[in-house]
Amino acid sequence: MKKAATYLSLLVLGTGVTFSGGYLLARNSPFSAESTSQNSSGVLAATSATKPLLNQDSNFITNVVEQVGPAVVRINASRTVSSQRPDGFNEPFHRFFGSQSPERPAQRVEQGTGSGFIINKDGQLLTNAHVVDGADTVEVVLKDGRHFEGKVIGTDSLTDVAVVKIEGDNLPTVALGDSEQLRSGEWAIAIGNPLGLDNTVTTGIISATGRSSSQVGVEDKRVEFIQTDAAINPGNSGGPLLNASGQVIGMNTAVIQGAQGLGFSIPINTARQIAQQLITQGKVEHPYLGIQMMTLTPELTEQLNRRTGFRIDDSEGVFIAQVVPNSPADRAGLREGDIITKIEGKSVKEAGDLQKSVQNSQVGGNLELELRRARQDIKVIVKPGAFPTQRHSSNNRYSNRQGG
């Protein structure tokens, strides 16, 4: 099965930009802030502006920015990366120059910038896991100019949520909203540090909610994303997405490369739940079955019947493409080619539905699955396990499978 590939660019650690050229252009432009008039010879001559700008009442966006802006931080992270060099890389230097040959450093330091927001007076702040993942040092810079050393309390790669703590007095904080109440068309305000431009504000609307990881193109994540058309760029990672009341409703995390008006945020309810576990336990346990699965469609059924040894009559359900050895699914007897039709008595039509049900279950609990196997209906009890901290994916035969 061929599917158009979706290229998703996670908002990686951004870099700073200088704008001296723009400053010189503005200084030398014939059309500056001064008004212009025409003299008797027909040449435009600059004159001083005589009318002041009209005073305008502040709007709700201005109020939100003034209220929340001080609690939005810039995160400067650096990490040391080992350079991979093949054996004998320096042999030519040694052959020509002997022991005095120059040695190239085997390590390099990567630096980048992201965003975050302070959630309480204790100095705990939220950001994306990919902003601080593997960082040796984390510097947190407030809008008022204060600099703090940040300590990473914990990260969760499956949801891309991280908690960082700073020690300081009179720290500004944000108010957290309820992402379950969001509706498409509501106002959305993003504040962050895209491309090193601190405290940048962009606005738009909530374009959609409940976007699955497969729809966004990140099958390895366990998040149902908020979609927004508020401009999000590299460096916005970890910054807040706000509603018209100034409450945080999401954490900005991703854009689709080459697209416009397609930004994605982690719902704040998800981020809050993950953060609580990171703060209290230092880690997050995600239930998982250990299967690679695909949403069954008439087109997929036709392809599977034509290209594999399976004979499938169903056109709805979740097809198990692979069972991870020694996983909870393997121990429960699930097999490649099974079709999951129900979980806990509720019909399952999409892989995202099954993934959500598994995510909401308990590690070590019982999940009842109803399957179609060789044209027969069977029931299986599976005990979800904790998602492995490190997991190597095998070569996929299908482009749209999800892990569960």
pLDDT, tens only, 158-177: 999 999 999 999 999 999 99
- Distance CA(257)–CA(263), nearest Å, equals 10
Looking at the domain assignment, is residue 120 inside a domain? no
What is the structure's pLDDT at 87?
Answer: 52
Q: Same domain, yes or no, for 226 and 314?
A: no
Q: Is the dihedral of CA 117, 143, 78, 265 positive or negative?
A: positive
Q: Of 235, 258, 281, which one is at a domain's C-terminal end?
A: 281
Looking at the domain assignment, is residue 95 inside a domain? no
pTM over 0.85, yes/no: no
Q: Same domain, yes or no, for 370 and 299?
A: yes
CATH of the domain at 190: 2.40.10.10
Give the DSSP per-residue string, 169-201: SS----EE--GGG--TT-EEEEEE-GGG-TTEE
Q: Same domain, yes or no, for 260 and 347?
A: no
Residue 288 pairs in a beta bridge with: 385
Q: Same domain, yes or no, for 273 and 329?
A: no
Looking at the domain assignment, is residue 18 inside a domain? no
- Distance CA(12)–CA(105), nearest Å, equals 25
- Distance CA(161)–CA(116), nearest Å, equals 11
Q: Same domain, yes or no, for 314 and 246?
A: no
Q: Which two tokens stand for residue 66?
A: 């003034």
Q: Same domain, yes or no, for 301 and 383?
A: yes
Q: Same domain, yes or no, for 269 and 292?
A: no
Looking at the domain assignment, is residue 17 inside a domain? no
Looking at the domain assignment, is residue 91 inside a domain? no
CA-wise closest residue to 103 among 93, 113, 95: 93
Looking at the domain assignment, is residue 75 inside a domain? no
Domain carrying residue 193: 175-281
Looking at the domain assignment, is residue 210 inside a domain? yes
Q: Same domain, yes or no, for 261 and 307?
A: no
Q: Same domain, yes or no, for 295 and 248?
A: no
Beta-carbon count within 10 A of 353 CB: 17
Q: Same domain, yes or no, for 294 and 373?
A: yes
> Which residues are CB-contacts of 165 (< 8 A; sequence separation ≥ 6)?
122, 123, 124, 125, 150, 151, 153
Domain count, the chain: 2
Q: Of 281, 311, 334, which one is at a domain's C-terminal end?
A: 281
Positions marked active-site = 130, 160, 237
Looking at the domain assignment, is residue 199 inside a domain? yes
- Distance CA(290)–CA(324), nearest Å, equals 5
Q: Same domain, yes or no, for 350 and 305?
A: yes
CATH of the domain at 334: 2.30.42.10
What is the structure's pLDDT at 103?
Answer: 56
Q: What is the pLDDT along the chain (404 residues), one digit of tens a residue?
A: 444 444 444 444 343 333 333 333 333 333 333 333 444 444 434 434 444 444 445 588 999 999 999 999 999 998 887 765 555 445 544 444 455 555 555 677 777 889 999 999 999 999 999 999 889 999 999 999 999 999 999 999 999 999 999 999 999 999 999 999 999 999 999 999 888 788 899 999 999 998 877 777 777 788 889 999 998 888 888 999 999 999 999 999 877 767 777 889 999 999 999 999 999 988 888 898 999 888 888 888 888 777 766 677 777 889 998 999 999 999 999 999 899 999 998 988 888 888 888 988 888 899 999 998 888 899 999 999 988 865 433 333 333 456 66
Q: Of 239, 264, 281, which one is at a domain's C-terminal end?
A: 281
Q: Same domain, yes or no, for 240 and 268?
A: yes
The DSSP element (H or E) to which 215 belongs, if any, is helix 213-216
Q: Which two tokens stand for residue 244?
A: 């018209």
What is the structure's pLDDT at 74?
Answer: 95
